[in-house]
């Protein structure tokens, strides 16, 4: 499965982008085009998930996956926080911010994993799109609570934090990825297979090509972020690989335990392993401006994202197949 993953055009485009940035090529994707691609991919994956749920109906598997995802979103940052404090010696503020990233999810990792698992014969259930959207918020809450509980600096500024609390919740709940994914999911559910048919050529046939170009851009960004930072120590780099392995294994085991099929269990593992680099950084800039973005962005985007794309997806699929 690792060989199939590494020889997939989707992954090869990511490797191409990473290599181009590493040798300091001037290859670049225009920002407006990259944003348009991300909107397209989120709309497509949401639509297809909603159509599938409309076709199969609600089930106990959906409920089990949703409850498991939310609980994991609340609890996984605690493990990350403990390791970041004890092993990497991070302060409470930075540890809380990084922990929030490692309990939340990466939409691009999810989209890539769905495509790769489908190609290799382990298609996940469409309702996992909804589970992914639900997992965005719990980790942010846990990360902020941990940072505030263990940081004297934040305790001293509680009044200011309370004043910005409503702004934070608005930022999280109206995040573009959450709105678009859930909105497209609902549209797909209402339209059903028959209503989706007229727009299927755009959102189904062109999906893989757009994903290839998007991952080319992500490879460029990941490598450049890694080259630019000077904040990543050996313990932090180690945790950027160990945390997705630990979290992803926990998620895959939990998914199997609650009765999900191997493809859906693997996707739950991927969601637990992925580290957010879009929604959570935006929330952290608002809620924890004292945290160093050079640490949490370099870890999540520069190390964890490439690891999951190249190896993590295959690892969790293999665990899910073994357990299933």
User: What per-residue confidence (pLDDT) applies to 205?
Assistant: 83
Q: Which residue has the tokens 């790769």?
A: 116
Out of 86-90, 139-143, 162-166, which region has the weakest mean confidence (pLDDT)?
162-166
Banded model confidence at residue 323, pLDDT cuts 50, 70, 90 = very high
d(CA 75, CA 72): 5
Please write the tens of the pLDDT for every residue from 58-104. 788 889 999 999 999 999 999 999 999 999 999 999 999 999 999 88
Residue 200 CB coordination number (10 Å): 13
Would you list the DSSP string of 113-169?
HHHHHHHTT-PPPTTHHHHHHHTHHHHHHHHHHHHHHH-HHHHTTHHHHHHTHHHHH
d(CA 203, CA 191): 14
User: What per-residue confidence (pLDDT) applies to 208?
Assistant: 85
Average pLDDT of the segment spanning 16-25: 92
Q: Do the beta carbons of residue 301 and residue 18 sit within 8 Å?
A: no
Comparing 283 with 109, the larger pLDDT belongs to 109
Residue 68 CB coordination number (10 Å): 21
Out of 1-10, 14-23, 26-35, 162-171, which region has the weakest mean confidence (pLDDT)?
162-171
Q: Of 3.40.50.11740, 3.40.720.10, 1.20.1530.20, 1.10.287.3510, which CATH number belongs to 2-323?
A: 1.20.1530.20
Among 150, 144, 88, smallest CA distance to 295 is for: 88
User: What per-residue confidence (pLDDT) applies to 54?
Assistant: 84
Q: Which residue has the tokens 């992925």?
A: 274
Locate 99 and state its tokens. Answer: 């922990």
Angle, helices 9-22 vs 207-228, to 10°: value is 30
User: What per-residue confidence (pLDDT) applies to 160?
Assistant: 46
Q: Tell me, what DSSP letter sits at residue 23?
A: T
| Burial class of residue 205, CB neighbours in 10 A (0-12, 13-18, 19+) | exposed
d(CA 190, CA 197): 13
Helix ranges (DSSP H) in the chain: 2-6, 9-22, 31-56, 60-86, 92-101, 107-119, 128-134, 136-150, 152-155, 158-163, 165-173, 176-196, 200, 207-228, 234-257, 262-273, 279-287, 293-297, 305-307, 313-323
User: What per-residue confidence (pLDDT) applies to 61?
Assistant: 87
CA distances from 151 to 85, 94, 129, 148, 156 (A): 12, 10, 35, 5, 9
d(CA 142, CA 99): 8
User: What per-residue confidence (pLDDT) applies to 161?
Assistant: 46
d(CA 250, CA 121): 22
**If you average pLDDT over each of 121-125, 296-300, 318-322, which comes out highest?**
318-322
Q: What does pLDDT average to over the chain?
A: 85
Q: Do the beta carbons of residue 10 and residue 111 sit within 8 Å?
A: no
User: What per-residue confidence (pLDDT) applies to 266?
Assistant: 96
Kindly list the domain boundaries of the chain, sorted by start residue: 2-323
Please write the tens of the pLDDT for every residue from 252-303. 999 999 999 999 999 999 999 998 877 787 677 777 788 888 888 889 988 9
Comparing 220 with 288, the larger pLDDT belongs to 220
Give the predicted TM-score (pTM) of the model: 0.81
Out of 3-17, 117-131, 225-239, 278-292, which region has the weakest mean confidence (pLDDT)?
278-292
Q: Do the beta carbons of residue 106 and residue 275 sit within 8 Å?
A: yes
Q: Which residue has the tokens 């497209």?
A: 184
d(CA 251, CA 72): 8
Please write the tens of the pLDDT for every residue from 223-253. 888 887 777 899 999 999 999 999 999 999 9
């Amino acid at each position: 499965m690792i060989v199939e993953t590494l020889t997939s055009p989707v992954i090869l485009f990511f490797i191409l982008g990473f290599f181009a940035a590493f040798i300091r090529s001037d290859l670049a994707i225009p920002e407006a085009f990259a944003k348009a691609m991300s909107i397209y991919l989120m709309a497509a994956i949401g639509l297809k998930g909603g159509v599938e749920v409309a076709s199969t109906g609600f089930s106990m598997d959906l409920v089990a996956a949703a409850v498991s995802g939310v609980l994991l979103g609340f609890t996984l940052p605690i493990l990350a926080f403990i390791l970041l404090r004890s092993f990497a010696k991070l302060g409470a503020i930075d540890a809380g911010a990084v922990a929030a990233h490692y309990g939340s999810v990466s939409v691009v990792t999810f989209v890539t994993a769905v495509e790769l698992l489908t190609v290799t014969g382990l298609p996940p259930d469409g309702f996992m799109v909804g589970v992914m959207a639900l997992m965005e918020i719990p980790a942010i809450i846990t990360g902020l609570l941990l940072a505030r509980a263990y940081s004297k600096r934040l305790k001293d500024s509680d009044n200011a934090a309370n004043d910005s609390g409503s702004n934070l919740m608005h930022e999280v709940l109206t995040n573009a990825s959450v709105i678009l994914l859930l909105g497209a999911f609902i549209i797909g559910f209402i339209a059903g297979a028959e209503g989706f048919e007229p727009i299927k050529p755009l959102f189904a046939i062109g999906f893989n090509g757009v994903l290839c170009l998007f991952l080319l851009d992500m490879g460029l960004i990941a490598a450049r972020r890694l080259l630019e930072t000077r904040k990543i120590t050996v313990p932090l780099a180690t945790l950027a690989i160990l945390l997705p392995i630990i979290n992803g294994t926990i998620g895959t085991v939990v998914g199997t335990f609650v009765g999900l099929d191997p493809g859906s269990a693997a996707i739950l593992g991927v969601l637990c392993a992925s580290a957010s680099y879009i929604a959570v950084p935006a929330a952290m800039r608002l809620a924890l401006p004292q945290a160093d973005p050079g640490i949490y962005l370099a870890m999540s985007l520069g190390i964890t994202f490439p690891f999951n794309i190249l190896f993590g997806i295959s690892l969790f699929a293999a665990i899910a197949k073994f357990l299933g």
